[in-house]
């Protein structure tokens, strides 16, 4: 039986170093201070099994991993997170904030790796069920600038993908992270209502002010809709 969503689901996407994790946590803290029920989660991770999968995926020593294996591990982590964390919280009417979600798989494994987009969509639909983001913030940054920023925070570096850019990995005639960025642009064009492109080449404060304005408007509209129904 499918669980119908009552809460608000917000996801953050973008290349390495774009500041999505920082902004996602800032939003969580902002909501917590206002005593708005919310949770923060991330991909890969979010659960005990997800954390183990995360270690495998981001370990540079596993560079020989095949693309299908990589994609399926991300999906396995997502499946656990959706059922253990995300859907239960949404059912209770909470706001769920996720650092990455299914758009990452489409952008990285689909547009980046070249895996069939139809296959990815089918698997994503199967895994997420009713957990469809209400708002997705795509923090857009130049790959080179993102890598410069992320290099200053080595503990949070997503090594697998950063190294592939640093080493000038080419897939289908384009740099890997350029392909990923183009994928996000394509997704943003296809889903303009859900995906909000945010210029990440600005200060944290400027970026956060734009994000908060969009979220507050969404919360206001959602509350209005609920009042009308009652």
Q: 138-150: per-residue pLDDT in tens? A: 999 988 787 777 6
> With 90 as the cut, is the pLDDT of residue 41 above it?
yes
Nearest one of 120, 136, 149, 110 to 13, comparing CA atoms: 136
Band the pLDDT of 73: cuts 50, 70, 90: very high
14: left (phi over 0), alpha (psi -120 to 50) or beta: left
Give 131 or 174, the one with higher predicted confidence: 131
Contacts of 34 (CB under 8 A, 6+ apart): none
> With 90 as the cut, is the pLDDT of residue 160 above it?
no
User: How far is residue 10's CA from residue 161's CA, in Å, rounded to a whole number?
Assistant: 24
Task: Give pLDDT, residue 171.
Answer: 62
Task: Give pLDDT, residue 3.
Answer: 43
Q: 18-32: per-residue pLDDT in tens? A: 999 999 999 999 999
Q: What angle do CA 9, 99, 85 make, to 5 degrees?
A: 55
Look at the domain 8-223 and name its fold. Rossmann fold (3.40.50)
Torsion of CA 172, 195, 11, 154, to 10 degrees: 50
Torsion of CA 16, 152, 39, 134, to 10 degrees: -30
Is residue 132 within 8 Å of 9, Cβ to Cβ?
yes
> With 50 as the cut, is the pLDDT of residue 1 above it?
no
Task: Give pLDDT, residue 156.
Answer: 46
Round to the nearest angstrom and report the end-to-end CA distance of the chain.
25
> With 80 as the cut, is the pLDDT of residue 7 above it?
yes
> With 50 as the cut, is the pLDDT of residue 178 above it?
yes
The token duo for 52 is 């183990």
Note the pTM of the prediction, 2 decimals.
Answer: 0.88
Band the pLDDT of 60: cuts 50, 70, 90: confident
Contacts of 111 (CB under 8 A, 6+ apart): 117, 179, 180, 182, 183, 184, 186
Is residue 15 within 8 Å of 180, Cβ to Cβ?
yes
> With 60 as the cut, is the pLDDT of residue 2 above it?
no
Give 149 or 101, the one with higher predicted confidence: 101
Q: What angle do CA 71, 124, 40 make, to 5 degrees?
A: 90
Task: Give pLDDT, residue 168.
Answer: 57
Domain map of the chain by residue range? 8-223
Is residue 166 within 8 Å of 147, Cβ to Cβ?
yes
User: How far is residue 160's CA from residue 177's CA, in Å, rounded to a whole number?
Assistant: 12
């Amino acid at each position: 039986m499918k669980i119908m969503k009552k809460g608000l689901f917000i996801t953050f996407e973008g290349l390495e170093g774009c500041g999505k994790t920082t902004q996602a946590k800032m939003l969580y803290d902002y909501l917590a201070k206002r005593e708005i029920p919310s949770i923060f989660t991330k991909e890969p991770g979010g659960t005990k099994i997800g954390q183990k999968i995360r270690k495998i995926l981001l370990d540079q020593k596993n560079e020989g991993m095949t693309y299908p294996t990589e994609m399926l591990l991300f999906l396995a982590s997502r499946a656990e997170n959706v059922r253990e964390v995300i859907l239960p919280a949404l059912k209770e009417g909470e706001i769920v904030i996720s650092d990455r979600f299914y758009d990452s798989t489409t952008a990285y494994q689909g547009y980046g790796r070249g895996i069939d987009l139809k296959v990815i969509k089918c698997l994503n639909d199967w895994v997420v069920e009713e957990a469809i983001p209400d708002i997705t913030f795509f923090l857009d940054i130049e790959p080179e600038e993102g890598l410069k920023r992320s290099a200053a925070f080595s503990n949070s570096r997503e090594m697998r993908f950063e190294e592939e850019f640093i080493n000038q990995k080419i897939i289908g005639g384009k740099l890997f992270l350029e392909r990923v960025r183009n994928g996000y642009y394509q997704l943003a064009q296809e889903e303009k209502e859900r995906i909000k492109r945010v210029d990440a080449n600005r200060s944290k404060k400027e970026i956060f002010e734009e994000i908060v304005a969009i979220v507050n408007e969404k919360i206001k509209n959602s509350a209005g809709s609920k009042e009308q129904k009652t």
